[in-house]
Amino acid sequence: MTRASLWTCVILIACVVGALVPDYVSTIGDSPIKLMALPAAMLFAFLLAYSRTLLLLMLVFSRGATEVLFESTRMSVGGMQIGVGGLINGFAILIAVLLILERPHLLSKPVVKVWAPLLAMAFFGTLMAPDRSTATRLFLQLLSECAVFVGAFYFVRSDHDYRTCIKLILWSSLIPVAYGFIELATGGGHEYGAEGLRLRSTFSHPNVLAFFLTLIISLTLYAAKSASFGFGAAKRGALLAYLPVLLVLLLLTKTRSAWGACAVMFVGYGLLFERRYLAYMLVAAVVGLFIPGVGDRLLDAMQDTGSISSATRLNSFAWRTSIWESGLGWMTPVHYVYGYGLEAFKYFAPTFFAESNGINWGAHNVYVQVFFDLGLLGILAFVWMYGQLLARIRTVFAFDRLGALTTTFVIAEFLVVAGSDNLLDYLSFNWYLWFLFGAGLSYAALHASAGKPITEPYLAR
On whether both 170 and 36 belong to a single domain, the answer is no
pLDDT band at 20 (very low <50, low <70, confident <90, very high): low
| Contact predicate 116/386, CB 8 Å | no
- Whether 303 and 278 map to the same domain: the answer is yes
Query: Average pLDDT of the chain?
Result: 83
Query: pLDDT by residue (tens digit) across 218-243?
Result: 999 999 999 889 899 999 999 999 99
Element (H, E) at 217: helix 206-225
Output the CA torsion 418→424→425→430 (10° steps). 100
99 lies in the same domain as 147: no
Give the number of domains in the chain.
2
Q: Convert the pLDDT of each residue in 241-277 to its tens digit.
A: 999 999 999 988 988 889 889 988 888 898 988 888 8
Comparing C-alpha atoms, which of 120, 60, 147, 153 is closest to residue 437?
Answer: 153
The model's pTM is 0.86
Same structural domain for residues 85 and 170?
no
Residues 227, 343, single domain; the answer is: yes
pLDDT confidence of residue 186: 85
How does pLDDT run across 41-61, given as a tens digit for each residue?
Answer: 666 666 676 678 888 898 999
Same domain, yes or no: 228 and 160: yes
The secondary structure element, H or E, covering residue 197 is strand 197-198
pLDDT in tens, 337-378: 999 999 999 999 999 998 888 899 999 999 999 999 999 999
Mean pLDDT of 145-163: 94
Beta bridge partners of 75: 82
φ, ψ dihedrals at 197, nearest 5°: -75, 130
Q: How far is CA 93 from the centre of its chain?
A: 16
Residue 459 has pLDDT above 50, yes or no: no
326 and 423 in a single domain? The answer is: yes
Q: With contact defined as beta carbons under 8 Å apart, do 422 and 362 qualify? A: yes
Compute the average pLDDT of residues 131-145: 94
* Residue 196: predicted pLDDT: 72
Domain end point (choices 76, 106, 136):
106
Residue numbers of the domain that contains 92:
1-106
Instruction: Please give the Cα distance from 419 to 410 (Å, whole number).
Output: 15
